[in-house]
């Protein structure tokens, strides 16, 4: 896989997934810049240890990143984990292993995971909107009807869902869905802002919505990203077994 799309010397970006152990909270989502040093196998790369100015950044073993590779034919993206680091011939090396398939990169802030998850949603009431926009304490109005929808991809920054209900762009939604965390279903109640909406050409009366999370906590965002990593690992193991 790698040898078809990656060459020695290719520039790469590494965006940290979650806060790096031993680093400040600012390390979450931070991007580091490097180059491909060698291709060890179809799943493993050697890359140069990132530097900031003249300082080496010793990224820890087992840390995980969204990696973007710059190729003449375009940009490619995958999830990787650092499995080793060492010095060889005065060159500081990181060894990274693919945790997801390499795919054409779309310029988005977070890696998007394709799925089919049930969710429920409704528009926020006016009082709820005012509280959310002003970062005030609030309680959701209980008992209001929720519309069922299907999440078709999810990321640490937002989600895309299909619904027979059309929600207006820029509207704020209450969204409820479950994710499998440590083999148990965990409910997530989030606020999302509708970025865009369009009717499906092949399914009239159904609408695709793109939603950005609104004022989401770092803890919740990190849990969602970890869920995506785990699901990608499961899919990758299944592909190997098949």
Domains of the chain and any CATH numbers: 2-104 (2.30.110.10), 113-241 (2.40.10.220)
Q: Indicate the length of the chain as a whole number.
A: 242
For residue 103, what pLDDT is reported? Answer: 81
pLDDT, residue 213, reads 94
**3-class DSSP state for residue 123?**
strand
Residue 222 corresponds to which tokens in the numbers above? 């990190």
Chunked into runs of 10 residues, the chain (242 residues) has average pLDDT values of 83 78 54 92 93 87 88 82 92 92 68 90 94 84 93 92 96 95 89 95 93 89 84 71 58
Structure tokens at 99: 């945790």
Contact 160, 133 (CB under 8 A): no
Model pLDDT, residue 25? 45
* pLDDT score, position 179: 94
Residue 201 CB partners (closer than 8 Å, separation 6+): none
Indicate yes or no: pTM above 0.75.
no
């Amino acid at each position: 896989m790698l040898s078809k799309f990656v060459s020695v010397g290719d520039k790469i970006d590494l965006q940290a997934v979650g806060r790096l152990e031993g680093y400040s909270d600012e390390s979450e989502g931070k991007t580091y810049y490097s180059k491909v040093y060698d291709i060890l196998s179809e799943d493993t790369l050697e890359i140069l240890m990132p530097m900031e100015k003249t300082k080496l950044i010793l990224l820890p073993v087992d840390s995980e990143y969204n990696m973007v590779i710059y190729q003449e034919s375009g940009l490619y993206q995958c999830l990787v984990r650092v499995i080793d680091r060492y010095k060889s011939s005065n060159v500081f090396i990181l060894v990274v292993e693919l945790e997801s398939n390499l795919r054409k990169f779309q310029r988005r802030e977070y890696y998007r995971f394709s799925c089919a998850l049930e969710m429920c949603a409704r528009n926020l009431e006016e009082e709820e909107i005012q509280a959310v926009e002003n970062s005030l304490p609030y309680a959701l109005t209980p008992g209001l009807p929720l519309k069922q929808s299907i999440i078709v991809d999810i990321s640490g920054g937002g989600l895309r869902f299909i619904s027979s209900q059309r929600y207006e762009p820029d509207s704020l939604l209450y969204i409820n869905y479950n994710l499998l965390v440590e083999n148990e279903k965990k409910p997530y109640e989030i606020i999302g802002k509708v970025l865009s909406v369009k009717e499906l050409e092949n399914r009239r009366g159904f609408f695709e919505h793109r939603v950005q999370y609104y004022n989401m906590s770092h803890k919740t965002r990190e849990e969602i990203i970890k869920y995506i990593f785990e699901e990608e690992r499961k899919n990758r193991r299944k592909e190997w077994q098949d």
